[in-house]
Amino acid sequence: MIGSGWRVFGLLLINDIRLECRRPHLLATGLLFGALMMFITAIAVDGAGDLSDSMTAGLLWLNIFFTTAIGFLRQDRRDEEYGAATGIRFIPQDLSVIYYARWCSTLIFILCAVTVLTGMFFLLFNRAGPVRPLWFAASLGLGTLGLSGMGTFVSLLTAGSTLRDVLLPMLLFPVSLPLFLGVDRLTASALSGAPVPWSWAGVLIGYLLMVSVLPWLLYETLMEV
Amino acid sequence: MSATRSDNLLSLHNVDKEYHFRPVLHRISVGVERGRAYWLQAPNGSGKTTLLKVMAGLVKPTRGGVHWCGRPITRRDRAHFGVVLQAPWVYGDLTGMENLMLYAGLHGMSLSKRRETAREWLRKVELLHVADRRVREYSKGMMQRLSLARAMLHQPQILLLDEPFEGLDTGGIQLMAQLLDGARATGTSLVMTGHGATQTAFVDVRWTLRNGQLLELVA
Amino acid sequence: MNWVSKGCVCLVGLLGLIDLYLALIWSPPEAQMGDLVRIMYFHVASAWIALISFCVAFGAAVGYLLTRRQRCDMVLVAAIEIGLVYTALTLVTGALWAKPVWNAWWTWDPRLTTTLILWFLFIGCVLLRASMEDGRRRAVVTAVYTVVAFLDVPLIHLSVRLWRSIHPDLVNDTGFHMPGSMAFTLMFGFVVFFLVYVLLLYLRVRLEWTRRTLARMRGQAGVRETLVGEAYRTAPSTPMDGRR
């Protein structure tokens, strides 16, 4: 049955990518909204190129967080339009495979958006590149991994809510605070070349473990009704 | 003569279902035998769809149990079900072929078998000519037929169909009835719902729902 | 409200008055903060009760997920709502205390920040619940969210602590760092706050139970019609077989 679980995972992942290519909701909204957010932020701080590294990292992640929260809403509507979400859930499998497939596909799309947004960020804020580019890339990757995982889960929680548009970011931000602080510090250290804050890397890994394990335990329960 | 009979595929035992504390189904005990067709006729809002969802395991009963072949139903048993509800359970941005291939894959078929099965079922429901068109562009009747193909492609042992003939033209109804009769002939059980009397000749048992209770029509 | 509830309210009210006397008059002023220290009796007790309430909510959420009993869901919603009130009280008294002592209404101290995040976490939970249709899914979603949020709290606290810290540790592993009379007042206040909490929890759960009973009665009233028509026969109590 483990083999068939992987097959379903692969199928759902490819399906998500195919759907996104046909009608790039998540990418388009992510990029456009993110670009606008970045532009507004740059205006708000007077296009300053002399911001401290921790402020720069904070602004970058703030934009990524908001952009991601908006993207999740679009993706779920596509599943619900013709009831495909129910159809997919009617598989004789452990349902957490649906969560992991969705997490993985969202991660790919958000990573694409984040890459473009980060490039834009350096341009608009007139910043030099990070002192430790590999660490910078790793912090972006890990942050996006945690954010897409928790976002997928929270988007599922808010599925039946009439206040979904507001509640998704409202629930996502407090729950992802450790992630936000962790990636913010790691990104800031990568930008400035300061020693790697290993304690923050630990917090980040702890958070990622939680995001990986909790849905496996709880997704089935959530979907039973 | 009870749910534990070996020929009862699916059985409900004293099932109650409440929505917002309002009873929709009340103490329903019923068995669905292998290879038989059941028609449930009742007006809107009487609980037809809820009953089908309970049978499919999509909705948990407030009280009572659902059994498959005499034992409590599990997630694995979903492989034996084909379900057609009001929503067609497809992706609007995928073609008919892609949708069927996706479901064939989810039911464990290999890539080559997926394509072959999807093509065969598109031919059966007379949608082969629009196989490569996005489902979003399908008419309601076409969507209904695609939904039936989606529910039948893995050869389920039981088919649960919510108002399968609604919105179909005469040709569509005939095609649908022919496919369902064919399935029944090969041993698939059918549970269908509708507002009025059955339009199909092969129905064995007719039910109705009144005040949440399942009644068998004898006349 | 029945006579027992009324009696409990009166008793707790009386204990509350005694607590006010102890906190505002009987206990001595602190050497540096003076009378300002009196806020502590309310601030610390509220904070502890808020934590207890969220622990109760967590227990009820796990209980609900394991048993699907309605009473667990009722305790869960009651504990979250009351926990939020106590958290709000903690935040407000904390700000009132912080202004004269730290010369700021708000500081980014780990405990303060964690408490505010806790408040956001559970206010989100209440909103989520309020915006969903009544039923099993709503209860499951509330329970699952509570479990996730509660398990996230230690990680939030750890991360905020790593971030920064200036909070005074009045009570730690080595015991109370204050005179006996102040410690007594603090503990008495805690007991009173706890009793108020238990009473509120009981009343809120009862209210929820009454609401549900009423909804059930309304629902059942709608289907009490007599069955008519000779063409029908009711399904037997054991599953019927269908006749060839």
SS (H, E, C) A168-211: HHHHHHHHCHHHHHHHHHHHHHHHHCCCCCHHHHHHHHHHHHHH
B150 in any annotated domain: yes
Does the distance separating the beta carbons of B31 and C242 come in below 8 Å? yes
DSSP lists the bridge partners of residue B22 as B19
pLDDT at C18: 86
- Chain B positions touching C134 (Cβ under 8 A) are 20-21
What is the least distance, in Å, from the CA of B8 to any CA of chain C? 8
Neighbours of chain B (3+ CB pairs under 8 A): A, C
Phi, psi of A132 (to 5 degrees): -115, 90
User: What's the whole-number average pLDDT of chain A?
Assistant: 85
* Token pair of C171 as six digits: 């009570």
Q: Are strands B63-68 and B71-72 parallel, antiparallel or unpaired?
A: antiparallel
- Distance CA(B51)–CA(B47), nearest Å, equals 6
In tens, the pLDDT along B67-108 reads 998 899 888 888 999 999 989 999 999 999 999 999 999 998
Q: Which residue has the higher pLDDT, C1 or B65?
A: B65
Residue B128 maps to which CATH number? 3.40.50.300
Does the distance separating the beta carbons of B91 and A78 come in below 8 Å? yes
Q: Which amino acid does the sequence have at B20?
A: H
- Chain C positions touching B73 (Cβ under 8 A) are none
Q: Assign residue A196 a region: left if phi > 0, alpha if psi is -120 to 50, beta otherwise?
A: beta
Interface of B with C in 54-93 (CB under 8 A): 60
Is the CB of residue C96 less than 8 Å from the CB of residue C39? yes
| Widest distance between CA atoms in chain B | 49
Q: Are strands B37-41 and B63-68 parallel, antiparallel or unpaired?
A: unpaired
Mutant choice from A86, A95, A156, A157 vs C, greatest count of C C-beta within 10 A: A157
Reported as type and span, the H/E element at residue C41 is: helix C38-67
Q: Would the pLDDT of C232 be above 80?
A: no
User: What's the whole-number average pLDDT of chain C?
Assistant: 80
Mutant choice from C54, C142, C159, C162 vs A, greatest count of A C-beta within 10 A: C159
Is the CB of residue C85 less than 8 Å from the CB of residue C21? no
How many Cα atoms occupy the beta-carbon half-sphere of A4 within 13 Å? 15
Q: Is C172 helix (H, G, I), strand (E, B) or coil?
A: strand
A212 touching B (Cβ < 8 Å): no
pLDDT at A177: 87
- Distance CA(A157)–CA(C141), nearest Å, equals 6
- Distance CA(B213)–CA(B211), nearest Å, equals 6
- Distance CA(B9)–CA(C84), nearest Å, equals 50
- Distance CA(A142)–CA(C237), nearest Å, equals 58
- Distance CA(B142)–CA(B132), nearest Å, equals 13
Lowest mean pLDDT among A121-130, B196-205, C16-25, C71-80: B196-205
pLDDT at C226: 37
Does the distance separating the beta carbons of A15 and B87 come in below 8 Å? no
Secondary structure of chain C: what % helix, strand, coil (to 5)?
A: 75, 5, 20
Q: Is B170 exposed, middle or buried (0-12, 13-18, 19+ CB in 10 A)?
A: exposed
Enumerate chain C positions whose Cβ falls within 8 A of a Cβ in A: 65, 117, 120-121, 124-125, 127-128, 131-133, 135-138, 140-141, 144-145, 147-149, 151-152, 155-156, 158-160, 162-163
| Residue of C136, C227, C239 with shortest CB distance to B210 | C227
Mutant choice from A14, A88, A90, A225 vs B, greatest count of B C-beta within 10 A: A90
**DSSP 8-state code for residue B211:** T
B25 in any annotated domain: yes
- Chain A positions touching B105 (Cβ under 8 A) are 7-8, 11
Average confidence (pLDDT) over A5-26: 89
Rg (CA), chain A: 18
Nearest Cα to Cα of residue A171 among C18, C124, C89:
C124
Nearest Cα to Cα of residue A93 among A105, A81, A101, A84:
A101
A196 touching C (Cβ < 8 Å): no
> Angle CA(B13)–CA(B16)–CA(B20) in degrees, nearest 5?
160
Domain of residue C70, residue span:
41-215
- Distance CA(A203)–CA(C157), nearest Å, equals 11
Q: Would the pLDDT of B55 be above 60?
A: yes
Compute, in degrees rounded to 10, the torsion defined by CA atoms B34, B36, B37, B39.
-90
Q: Which amino acid does the sequence have at B210?
A: R
DSSP lists the bridge partners of residue B32 as B10
Q: Would the pLDDT of A214 be above 50?
A: yes
Quote the number of domains for chain B. 1
Q: A8 to chain B: nearest residue by CA?
A: B106
What is the least distance, in Å, from the CA of A223 to any CA of chain B? 9
Q: Would the pLDDT of A1 be above 50?
A: no
DSSP lists the bridge partners of residue C176 as C171
How many Cα atoms occupy the beta-carbon half-sphere of B139 within 13 Å? 7
Residues 6+ apart with CB under 8 A from B29: B3, B11, B12, B13, B14, B15, B64, C235, C236, C237, C238, C239, C240
pLDDT at A49: 65
Does the distance separating the beta carbons of A88 and B59 come in below 8 Å? no
Domain of residue B120, residue span:
8-216
Enumerate chain C positions whose Cβ falls within 8 A of a Cβ in B: 133-136, 212, 215-216, 218-220, 222-223, 225, 227, 231-244
B78 touching A (Cβ < 8 Å): yes
| Residue of C133, C218, C239 with shortest CB distance to B29 | C239
Secondary structure of chain B: what % helix, strand, coil (to 5)?
A: 35, 30, 35
Q: Which amino acid does the sequence have at C166?
A: I
B1 in any annotated domain: no
- Split at pLDDT 50, 70, 90, the class of C75 is very high
B32 touching C (Cβ < 8 Å): yes
Q: Is A222 exposed, middle or buried (0-12, 13-18, 19+ CB in 10 A)?
A: buried
B2 in any annotated domain: no
Quote the number of domains for chain C. 1
- Distance CA(A180)–CA(A172), nearest Å, equals 11
Phi, psi of B96 (to 5 degrees): -55, -45
Does the distance separating the beta carbons of B29 and C227 come in below 8 Å? no
Rg (CA), chain B: 17
C17 in any annotated domain: no
pLDDT at C153: 82
pLDDT at B7: 66
- Chain B positions touching A18 (Cβ under 8 A) are 94, 98
- Split at pLDDT 50, 70, 90, the class of B195 is confident
C1 in any annotated domain: no
- Chain B positions touching C239 (Cβ under 8 A) are 2-3, 8, 11-13, 29-31
Mutant choice from C133, C223, C228, C243 vs B, greatest count of B C-beta within 10 A: C223
| Residue of B60, B75, B88 with shortest CB distance to A83 | B88
C155 in any annotated domain: yes
Q: Is C244 exposed, middle or buried (0-12, 13-18, 19+ CB in 10 A)?
A: exposed
pLDDT at C125: 93
- Distance CA(A5)–CA(A170), nearest Å, equals 33
Average confidence (pLDDT) over C123-141: 89
Mutant choice from C148, C151, C157, C164 vs A, greatest count of A C-beta within 10 A: C148
pLDDT at C243: 36
Determine the angle formed by the axes of helices C136-163 and A177-192, rounding to 10 degrees: 40
Residues 6+ apart with CB under 8 A from A30: A67, A68, A70, A71, A109, A110, A112, A113
